[in-house]
Structure 1
């Protein structure tokens, strides 16, 4: 995964810079997300891996499916990806593009795992506290994980905040074991 991200990074940065220059970040983001879902499809993966098809024809496959939804600049971007044999990187490019967009907009999507279902009020309070602490607008995606016993685990990218009972017990066991 890290290798694919490394390969995708310059393309994602170029796409983001082009979208920003055209003042079309939202449109590029939607189009890249759509192209990403296509590239992640099993049948499309097989087509992209087919050495019998020209790279240009592989790019045309995306144009045919997307029809009129593909702006000219994005079409050119996809042709460059095809020439470089990088169409399979579209999911990673789209994910990185979204990270660049979130950084520009000062937003952050965080996954919150709790042992029990959180109420709307609790979610709102947690989002507000995280927004103040991180100085960004925070959107939460919640999930229930009964193995946490109690507390909460919050993560996004490289940041993990483990305030769960399971995490505290693991730290105690580690401290006692050393």
Structure 2
């Protein structure tokens, strides 16, 4: 089974438990903390990848690193991932969990491509304009700079793309001219 499929199973199980306990947001925060710790201390991952280290020692490292900092359920999940050698699924697990929790809250993730960085107020304007178009209460907007767009923006929300960039307009104009010949 692929890492993504495994991560999705764990994410769904944790999410359903989080919803039933009213702690879905807390679990999401826990998973983000775990991701941050792994990013900031790559030595932790190296310890978990050490072939000669027993599962008990790896579990002890996880407990020392996270006990008291995350919910008991999150800690139990981490210990299960270590026990089953599935700790490498953490990035996919967090991503899927966040998607599920955002879906519950009526939030979608949007990527705004622009020729230059956009401000926080511009991100908010994009969220206000596009959230109703995709039937969501809110959008979490991320900006990606693509200088080849020349000007304007291109917005990707899920599998939908709204292209208001100068490059997109030129491409559509070119197709129209070529189709007219």
Q: Give the alignment's Cα RMSD to 1 decimal.
A: 2.6
Say which SS state the counterpart of residue 112 (structure 1) adopts: strand
- What residue is the counterpart of 1:8 in the other structure? 7
Corresponding pairs, count: 175
Q: Does the 8 A contact of 1:114 with 1:146 survive in 2?
A: yes
- What residue is the counterpart of 1:163 in the other structure? 164
Change (3 A) 1:35 1:59: farther
Change (3 A) 1:46 1:131: same
Q: Deviations for 1:109-138, whole angstroms, at most 9, x for unmatched residues?
A: 312122245566654443222111112112
Q: Does the 8 A contact of 1:35 with 1:62 survive in 2?
A: no
TM-score (norm 1): 0.82
- What residue is the counterpart of 1:57 in the other structure? 57
Change (3 A) 1:47 1:86: same
Say which SS state the counterpart of residue 69 (structure 1) adopts: coil
Which segment drifts farther, 123-132 or 14-23?
A: 123-132
Gaps of 5+ in 2: none
Gaps of 5+ in 1: none
Distance of 1:162 and 1:152 partners within structure 2: 7
- What residue is the counterpart of 1:20 in the other structure? 19
Q: Deviations for 1:87-109, whole angstroms, at most 9, x for unmatched residues?
A: 12112111111111000000123
TM-score (norm 2): 0.81
